[in-house]
Amino acid sequence: MSRNAESTAFRSALEVIRGVEPRVAEAIGAELADQRESLKLIASENYASPATLLAMGNWLSDKYAEGTVGRRFYAGCQNVDTVEALAAEHARELFGAAHAYVQPHSGIDANLVAFWAILADRVEAPALKRAQARHVNDLTEQDWFALRRELGDQRMLGMSLDTGGHLTHGFRPNISGKMFDQRSYGTDPATGLIDYDRVAEAAREFRPLVLVAGYSAYPRKVNFRIMREIADSVGATFMVDMAHFAGLVAGKVFTGDFDPVPHAHIVTTTTHKSLRGPRGGLVLCGPELADQVDRGCPMVLGGPLPHVMAAKAVALAEARRPDFADYAGRIVDNAQALAEGLLRRGATLVTGGTDNHLVLIDVTGYGLTGRQAEQALLDSGIVTNRNAVPQDPNGAWYTSGIRIGTPALTTRGLGTAEMDTTAELIHTVLSQTGAGANPDGTASKAKYVLDPALADKIGRQASELLAGFPLYPSVDLG
């Protein structure tokens, strides 16, 4: 698509929207302006291509399409079948998977589909066979009791939230923590790294039905071969949530023992983050779980979103191009350069560095909580998010850490030299921010003190840094 065509497309779309609700058009335009001007370092965010964005705004949104390709509960789904089949084909080829299910609306939906597919495979299917029943609803209470006594509790072993895991891996307030009797494995307190011997010990003691690997704030690779061996040793289904690092798998930065697809029974991911697609999810698995996964609608999901599946097809097609592998490699180069720049300036990093796309700063060395640091950086034009660190004394709300990542800035074209400048800006803000006090004089975990003149100065420097790397340069809204 030419630059002129992209500008025309987005201008025209906003003009149409403005004719109905101008405040929505204004917010959309403002969001583009904000993203262009901000140093975006949120590890879970990126910039989708104009083609991917445009694929979501069309008539596919009007279709109901419960079911799967060729087996819909509504008529007239031939075009939905086309885009869903294309998205699944691209996903299979990109990741080397036997089966791909592209309907999940989000990462948590993808995980729910995986959880229920595993439970259906491990619990429902044997129960049906035992009772010689055709449907789970035909099972008697005695059938279920006998099966549960044989299999044990529906147990999940996943990475703890404060050491980098995700809330959908059994965190109690999340539905996953209510579906399973859950236990967490953590990291070595001295190194911050996964101790596979301790994971194996926890698995032998707990005997989980599901062993989950994957993370949202762990700055290192995971050896999925070892994790699969641990799962096999206790008869667990091995599931990997690669939502954060899917782009590094797609770009062949993570291969061999660090590519989850050959080792896991089932893999879930989002399609945004490092994969640079639309907000959504997908599930990859082998043929043994394919039928159960394809029951995601109506088992977990309502109607799929055909317009988003179309955007997934576009983004996955983009990820199959040779330049995506170069992009994925630069994500890691940039993250490591950013980590090195922060370390040189005296920052404390969880695990002392990074192997992937993210860096986790322990901001207690600056005398701050994560919430204070997050807001001070935002005031200075640097967008991050607070995050817990291992054994975090401030809990999951205030936290003691800041999580930063490089997928978005790498999309804009920034390189390792710019990462060092970014490290300087971050360090300057954090070192010049002080903890604030509550009205009664007690120390506050939220209030902070930062000279507005310094914040303005850093904001200008961030804008100057970004000026050489325009965002969506082909889009001019006029």
> What are 430-446's pLDDT values in tens digits?
999 999 998 888 989 99
Given 6, 109, 241, 355, which residue is catalytic?
241
Residues 6+ away with beta carbon under 8 Å from 23: none
Q: Catalytic residue at 451? A: no
Give the per-residue pLDDT at 193: 96
Given 11, 36, 63, 64, which residue is catalytic?
64
DSSP class of 69:
T
Q: Catalytic residue at 270? A: yes
Whether residues 163 and 299 fall in one domain: yes
Q: How confident is the model at residue 145 (pLDDT cuts 50, 70, 90)?
A: low
Given 11, 36, 37, 66, which residue is catalytic?
66
Given 11, 63, 130, 279, which residue is catalytic?
279
What CATH number does the domain containing 389 carry? 3.90.1150.10
Q: Catalytic residue at 456? A: no
Whether residues 303 and 371 fall in one domain: no
Tens digits of per-residue pLDDT, 333-345?
999 999 999 999 9
- The one-letter amino acid code at 159 reads M
Whether residues 200 and 90 fall in one domain: yes
Which DSSP helix (H) or strand (E) runs through 27? helix 22-37
Q: Catalytic residue at 457? A: no
| 315 closest CA partner among 242, 221, 411 | 411
Give the per-residue pLDDT at 143: 61
Given 168, 270, 354, 433, which residue is catalytic?
270
Tens digits of per-residue pLDDT, 55-81?
999 999 999 999 999 999 899 999 999
Give the per-residue pLDDT at 311: 98
| 218 closest CA partner among 359, 107, 365, 386 | 359
Give the per-residue pLDDT at 139: 57
Tens digits of per-residue pLDDT, 232-289?
999 999 999 999 999 999 999 999 999 999 999 999 999 999 999 999 999 999 999 9
Q: Is the pLDDT of residue 128 over 60?
A: no
Query: What residues make up the domain containing 85?
Result: 61-123+151-319
More confident residue, 392 or 137: 392
Whether residues 312 and 332 fall in one domain: no
Q: Catalytic residue at 66? A: yes
Whether residues 352 and 264 fall in one domain: no
Give the predicted TM-score (pTM) of the model: 0.91
Number of H helices, E strands in the chain: 20, 17
- Of the residues 319, 353, 368, which one is the last residue of a structural domain? 319
What CATH number does the domain containing 278 carry? 3.40.640.10
Residues 6+ away with beta carbon under 8 Å from 458: 380, 381, 382, 425, 428, 429
Q: Catalytic residue at 279? A: yes
- Looking at the 3D structure of the chain, how many domains does it have? 2
Q: How confident is the model at residue 134 (pLDDT cuts 50, 70, 90)?
A: low
State the chain's mean pLDDT as an integer.
Answer: 92
Given 273, 276, 312, 386, which residue is catalytic?
273
Average pLDDT over residues 288-310: 92
Whether residues 157 and 223 fall in one domain: yes
- Of the residues 319, 337, 360, which one is the last residue of a structural domain? 319
